[in-house]
């Protein structure tokens, strides 16, 4: 594998530019080191120990995950202080209890009283307490108890008063930044989310709850942080280590910052349809981005005149955006490089990542899978 050029790989192949990954990770680390908030990078985009090591600066401490399978995987690879940043369901409690008993710090997240009751019924061994984060919805509209309703404060008080349970922090996803366009819109949403969670923390303090941390996160908001984010305990972005076309359109990054590609080969010429056929279907790219790009499902690097028109399971159809296709410019067996619309979804399609530096494969990373 070593010293092999990416162009020699069997396709379709998921390529990770190691130099860009390190640059993206270093940029986020420096950004929040200067601000003074703790960076808790989210592992869900890549799900690999190697990339987690880079994102934590080699400490392998203070990370967020989206599945219990990820939590167990990272624990097995020497990571600690792991936050399972997903609303806790009853079927996951026993596995989370085992991780809580195994690690120095393992955190769970809840947004309803029923989940708290399940935790109460499963006390941890060894004198440990459940480390619980309250998920609050700061107008993102996905998971979480609404910040402005009485239920949020009541649930926080119930966690605070529960035996064997500690209210470790309050967690909000700043996912509404994904509807933004440009840094100023991103900053406006980041400012609003920060203000709402800080106001909620003041409510907690006024009710006698003092000490929990507070955290917001999304790649757009953390790529363009506002000064008030210095008042937060932590932030938890994830996609930034790879970035993608979607993030470039939002304004989180430029297309040059995107660290991943899907390498595909031309396997057919069909001039009567004005098309090329490539060996990248939706099982290698995902269907994210449909209808959102002039270039189809991805950006075809170096070829703004082309678009990925459609995909079946293992095939992709490429056509010119206008005019006639000169098939002689794309010989059978030649490669094209696709910049994915959504790196998280594309990475999830691949059992191995080919890590390269300047086009030479230097490593392979194998992500964890499952829930």
Residue 336, φ and ψ in degrees, nearest 5: -130, 150
What band does 3 get if pLDDT is binned at 50, 70 and 90? low
pLDDT in tens, 80-89: 999 999 999 9
Q: For residue 85, what are its two tokens?
A: 């940043």
pLDDT in tens, 262-320: 999 999 999 999 999 999 999 999 999 888 899 999 999 999 999 999 999 999 999 99
The mean pLDDT value for 19-41 works out to 98
pLDDT at 183: 97
Mean pLDDT of the chain: 96
pLDDT at 290: 83
Could you give the CA distance from residue 327 to residue 335 in angstroms, rounded to a whole number?
13
pTM: 0.96
Could you give the CA distance from residue 179 to residue 92 in angstroms, rounded to a whole number?
32
pLDDT at 248: 98
pLDDT in tens, 304-337: 999 999 999 999 999 999 999 999 999 999 999 9
Residue 202, φ and ψ in degrees, nearest 5: -65, -35
Residue 294, φ and ψ in degrees, nearest 5: -60, -25
Give yes or no for residue 1 having a pLDDT over 50: no
Q: Which residue has the tokens 């499952």?
A: 370
Q: Is the distance from CB of 215 to CB of 172 less than 8 angstroms? A: yes
Task: Tell whether omega for the bond before 58 is within 30 degrees of 0, i.e. cis.
Answer: no
The mean pLDDT value for 144-151 works out to 92
Could you give the CA distance from residue 218 to residue 283 in angstroms, rounded to a whole number?
26
Could you give the CA distance from residue 218 to residue 85 in angstroms, rounded to a whole number?
13
Q: What radius of gyration, in Å, describes the C-alpha atoms of the chain? A: 22
């Amino acid at each position: 594998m070593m010293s092999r050029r990416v162009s020699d790989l069997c396709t379709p192949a998921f390529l990770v530019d190691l130099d860009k990954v390190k640059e993206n990770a270093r940029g986020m680390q420096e950004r929040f080191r200067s601000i003074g908030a703790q960076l808790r990078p989210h592992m869900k985009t890549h799900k690999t120990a190697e990339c987690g090591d880079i994102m934590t600066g080699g400490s392998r401490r203070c990370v967020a995950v989206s599945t219990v399978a990820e939590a167990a995987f990272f624990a097995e690879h020497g990571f600690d202080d792991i936050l399972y940043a997903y609303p806790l369901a009853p079927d996951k409690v026993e596995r989370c209890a085992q991780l809580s008993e195994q690690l120095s710090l393992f955190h769970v997240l809840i947004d309803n009283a029923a989940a708290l009751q399940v935790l109460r019924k499963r006390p941890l061994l060894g004198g440990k307490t459940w480390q619980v984060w309250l998920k609050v919805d700061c107008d993102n509209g996905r998971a979480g108890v609404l910040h402005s309703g009485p239920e949020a404060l009541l649930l926080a008080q119930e966690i605070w008063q529960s035996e064997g349970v500690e209210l470790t922090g309050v967690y909000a996803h700043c996912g509404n930044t994904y509807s933004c366009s440009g840094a100023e819109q991103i900053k406006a949403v980041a400012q609003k989310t920060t203000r709402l969670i800080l106001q909620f923390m003041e409510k907690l303090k006024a009710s006698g709850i003092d000490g929990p941390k507070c955290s917001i996160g999304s790649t757009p908001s953390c790529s363009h942080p506002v000064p008030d984010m210095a008042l937060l305990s932590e932030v938890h972005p994830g996609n930034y280590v790879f970035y993608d076309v979607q993030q470039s359109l939002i304004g989180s990054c430029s297309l040059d910052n995107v660290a991943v590609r899907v390498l595909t080969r031309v396997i057919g010429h069909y001039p009567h349809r004005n098309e090329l056929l490539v060996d990248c279907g939706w099982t290698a790219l995902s269907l994210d981005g449909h209808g959102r790009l002039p270039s189809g499902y991805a950006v075809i690097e170096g070829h703004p005149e082309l678009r990925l028109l459609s995909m079946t399971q293992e095939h992709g159809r490429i056509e010119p955006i206008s005019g006639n296709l000169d098939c002689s410019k794309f010989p059978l067996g030649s490669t094209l490089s696709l910049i994915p619309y959504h790196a998280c979804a594309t990475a999830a399609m691949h059992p191995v990542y080919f890590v390269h530096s300047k086009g030479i494969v230097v490593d392979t990373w194998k992500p964890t899978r499952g829930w």
